[in-house]
Amino acid sequence: MTLPQRSDSEIAAPIRCILSDVDGVMTDGRIVYDSDGVETKRFHVRDGLAIKLWMKSGFQFGILTARSSPMVTRRATELGIVEVKQGYEDKWPAATEMMKSLGCTPDQVAYIGDDLPDLAVMHHVGLAVAPADAARDVREAADWNLETPGGEGVLREMIERLMRSNRRWEEHLPRSA
């Protein structure tokens, strides 16, 4: 028996918090070192705006990544993201701590990830999301497979879809004179 498809508004209704991986989601997943051996990362500005609008609307946002990087700390600070956990290869216990800290339950969480370490969290939350270029197993586990690849504004696509589904996006659009 096939279950009836739920609409985006039904799926988005309970979501109060987004937890996001970094490499392959907020970035394109490449690890780049300059000639001095310093790691660099590229973040998409549209993701940043979407995260700010999400939080401005009263929702929570957290970063959960297996690697540790000062660039992630800097980007989180720029965006006002307080809940950041780096260096957690086993992501589910860290996600549980984050949810407790943010005051939400797994069914109120959307998690976006792109590779195998993300599956444990994806299997336990209300909405599992994958970028277009996520690993096959992650795409198969996701409730939403997005059109945008990691690092190219995928969080913007996800957040806009969530907020449009409950009519919260429109309140942030500039009004014409």
Is 115 flagged in the annotation as binding?
A: no
Give the separation between CA 118 and CA 56, rounded to whole angstroms: 26
What was the pLDDT predicted at 2?
60
> Which whole number is the average pLDDT over 113-129?
97
For residue 160, give the nearest of 151, 177, 143, 147 by alpha carbon: 147
Residue 168 has a pLDDT of: 84
Q: What is the overall mean pLDDT for the chain?
A: 94
Question: Is 28 flagged in the annotation as binding?
Answer: no
The answer to whether residues 48 and 79 touch, using CB atoms and an 8 Å cutoff, is: yes
Q: What does the pLDDT read at residue 153?
A: 97
Structural domain spans, the chain: 8-102+113-170
Q: Is the pLDDT of residue 50 over 80?
A: yes
Overall CATH class of domain 8-102+113-170: alpha beta
Q: What is the pLDDT of residues 156-176, one digit of tens each?
A: 999 999 999 988 888 888 876
State the number of CA atoms in the 13 A half-sphere of 47 facing the CB. 27
As given in the structure block, the two tokens for residue 140 are: 């198969």
With a cut of 80, say whether residue 126 has pLDDT above it: yes
Per-residue model confidence (pLDDT) at position 167 = 85
> Which pLDDT tens digit goes with each residue over 59-92?
999 999 999 999 999 999 999 999 999 999 999 9
Q: 114 a known binding residue?
A: yes
Rounded to whole angstroms, how far apart are CA atoms 71 and 10?
36
